[in-house]
Amino acid sequence: MGSVGAKEVPVLLSPDGKRIDGRRLDELRPLKIVAGALHQADGSAFVEWGANKVMAAVYGPREVHPRHLQQNNKAIVQCKYNMAAFSVDERKRPGLDRRSQEISKVISEAFESVIFVEEYPRTSIDIYIEVLQANAGTRCAGVVAASVALADAGIPMVDLLPSVAVGKIGGAIALDLKKEEDNFGEADMPMALVPQSGRLVLLQMEGHMTAEELGRSLDLGVQGCRSIYEVMKQALRDRYQVGGGAAQEVGA
């Protein structure tokens, strides 16, 4: 442990370039996706990614509630991201807070730009993301789960949306930060990619990086998204094969 002021911070990067969980800088945490994990929803997916456990359920296109949000020329996309009280070390107060409102908004906007919303005027496409266990990168795990759930619901989209956070830890650019890296690192940058066009539909950043580091982070994130995309597609292939539904894994 090193120390910064009064705060004890873990050493995030060993002299040989290994991270606290032994990963390389460009290595993802193990990722497992089950498409169609819930029977009641129109589409669903369960994602286990490192120590994150996230369920997504999708309903729609269906009637808009509340009614005044209805749009005559397109469907609206409403995402509700929620963290269970038991999902984090210090019990999270149940209910809406600013953080979950912000995450719900950026995820709704990301999906609104890939779903063919104009095909379903006056309807709502509702995405529920429930974080059951959190260890950083839950909004990305939520986007991955919701993408697979939307495809499972048969909602037409330009593409699936792989998503990952890149950041800066111990002065180096690293893929897929875990909690200690997110808390004590220098920067955290979640992103979501449309793989076929290379367009980013979600990009946020907390902390500081130079322009050159930002460029390298984007490259590393795009590379991570492309690996995640393969696991997402395989989860859907398995779901729609006879006897499918097996979990898809990477890095396990």
Q: Rounded to an integer, what distance in angstroms lies between the CA atom of residue 110 and that of residue 162?
A: 11
Shorter beta-carbon distance to ligand CDP: residue 179 or 233: 179
- Can residue 168 be called a binding residue for ligand CDP (CB under 6 A)? no
Beta bridge partner(s), residue 23 = none
Least separation in angstroms between CB 250 and ligand CDP: 19
32 contacts 249 by C-beta, under 8 angstroms = yes
Q: Which stretch binds ligand CDP (CB under 6 A): 37-45, 72-80, 88-96, 224-232?
A: 88-96
Q: Rounded to an integer, what distance in angstroms lies between the CA atom of residue 76 and that of residue 194?
A: 20
Residue type, 194: V
- Can residue 62 be called a binding residue for ligand CDP (CB under 6 A)? no
Shorter beta-carbon distance to ligand CDP: residue 123 or 163: 163
- CA end-to-end distance (rounded Å), the chain: 28
Shorter beta-carbon distance to ligand CDP: residue 57 or 202: 202
Tokens 């699936």 sit on residue: 160
155 contacts 39 by C-beta, under 8 angstroms = no
Out of 13, 25, 88, 200, the only residue in the binding site for ligand CDP (CB under 6 A) is 88
Out of 182, 186, 213, 238, the only residue in the binding site for ligand CDP (CB under 6 A) is 182
The region that residue 98 occupies, defined by phi over 0 for left and psi between -120 and 50 for alpha, beta otherwise, is alpha
202 contacts 143 by C-beta, under 8 angstroms = yes
Least separation in angstroms between CB 100 and ligand CDP: 9
Q: Rounded to an integer, what distance in angstroms lies between the CA atom of residue 56 and that of residue 74?
A: 23
- Can residue 179 be called a binding residue for ligand CDP (CB under 6 A)? yes
81 contacts 104 by C-beta, under 8 angstroms = yes
Least separation in angstroms between CB 119 and ligand CDP: 30
62 contacts 68 by C-beta, under 8 angstroms = no
Q: Rounded to an integer, what distance in angstroms lies between the CA atom of residue 172 and that of residue 170?
A: 6
Shorter beta-carbon distance to ligand CDP: residue 122 or 179: 179
Shorter beta-carbon distance to ligand CDP: residue 104 or 124: 104
Shorter beta-carbon distance to ligand CDP: residue 182 or 238: 182
Beta bridge partner(s), residue 77 = 125
Looking only at residues 91 through 150 of this chain, which bind ligand CDP when binding is defined by CB under 6 A? Answer: 92, 99, 134-139
Shorter beta-carbon distance to ligand CDP: residue 136 or 174: 136
Binding mask 187-206 for ligand CDP (x = CB under 6 A): -x-x----------------
Name the pairing type of β-strands 206-207 and 199-203: unpaired
Instruction: State the residues that interact with ligand CDP by CB under 6 A.
Output: 88-89, 92, 99, 134-139, 179, 182, 188, 190
